[in-house]
Amino acid sequence: MFSLQKNNLYLLCAIVISTFVSCNSLFRETPEKEPLARVGDAYLYKEDVVSLIGEDMLPQDSSLFVTNYINKWASKQLLLSKSKINLPEEKLAEFDRLVSDYRMDLYTRAYIEALVLQSKDTAVTQEELRGYYEKEKENFKLSEKLVQLRFVGLPSQFLDKDAVVAKLKNWKEEDKEYLDSIAVQFKKIHFNDSIWVGSSRVVQEIPPLTPMNEQQYLKKSQFFELQDSLEVYLGKVTDVLEINDTAPFEYVIPDIKQLILNKRRLDYARRLETDIIDEAIKKNEFEVYGKNE
């Protein structure tokens, strides 16, 4: 009987050992992360760096990038270690609180933003835009001169420049059709003189214009002809708004829309904070102690 029990004990031990070995080998099948560098107890792994290497990098460039990254990582880890040793305890505690607060803000902000996106409340009507503009008009002052103009850039050897000048000045329907029909011959073209354009953008598009001479040429009802070594620029300015003038409604529509959407997000976040606290109180998940003491 004792012998039988002894054999059973051996068998049980064998089963346990076999199970442990098989489990251990199973666990080892999971590939371990490949370390690239170590500083104290901190490790930098290959997978942390691989995703940062651009596909278009040459082998020697990627090798240099990895070396520099490892060195920067090591210096940060060493400085962090030194700071924890040498900085006062109260300063370390303050930094830990800041890190914790920042981490919490990141999570909550991302969650609220996701909820805002899910609500799909991004439509802004023309009436809302116009109403906001009329209410806040005094806050929409220009920081840059705006102009309405039409212009073309012609090759310096363009043969029929006088006809283009006449059409740009007259600007009747047949003039527009004519210029549209030969537009492939132009180097540059801008015929939509109903939109407002910043003077800096105009200067970029017409090289002979500069901040020094724009006042001379970018004047209301002004026709100009300017030339550089490559092109002749012909333009007609139809209207001008100066710095500190009230910005036109059409020009600030994108800004107004963004302001309205930002206000909606803030309002939504406030409502969410209130609702989530009310719900937690109802479910007895949140309470404040000593409130009536």
Confidence of residue 108 (pLDDT cuts 50, 70, 90): confident
Average pLDDT on 112-122 reads 76
**pLDDT tens digits along 193-221:** 999 999 999 999 999 999 999 999 999 99
The DSSP element (H or E) to which 223 belongs, if any, is strand 223-227
State both tokens at 257. 């829309």
Q: What is the mean pLDDT of residues 179-188?
A: 93
Residues 229-266, buried b or exposed e (16+ Cβ, 10 A)? eebbbbbbbeebbeeeeebbeebbbeebbebbeeeebe
- What band does 293 get if pLDDT is binned at 50, 70 and 90? low
pLDDT score for 2: 36
| Predicted confidence (pLDDT) at residue 26 exceeds the cutoff of 90 | no
Q: Does residue 283 or residue 32 have the better pLDDT?
A: 283
Contact status, residue 144 vs residue 245, Cβ threshold 8 Å = no
Whole-number mean pLDDT of the chain?
Answer: 86
Report pLDDT digits (tens) over 218-275. 999 999 999 998 899 999 999 999 999 999 999 999 999 999 988 988 888 888 888 8
The pTM of the full predicted model, rounded to 2 decimals, is: 0.61
Task: Compare 191 and 51 and report the one with higher pLDDT.
Answer: 191
Maximum distance among all alpha carbons in the chain? 122
Q: What is the mean pLDDT of residues 275-282?
A: 89
Give yes or no for a contact between 218 and 209, defined as CB atoms under 8 angstroms apart.
Answer: yes
Q: Which residue has the higher pLDDT, 23 or 33?
A: 33
Quick one: pLDDT at residue 6? 39
Average pLDDT over residues 40-67: 86
pLDDT digits (tens, 9 = 90+) for 129-179: 999 999 999 999 999 999 999 999 999 889 899 999 999 999 999 999 999
Residue 238 — φ and ψ, nearest 5°? Answer: -100, -30
Residue 27 above 50 pLDDT?
A: no
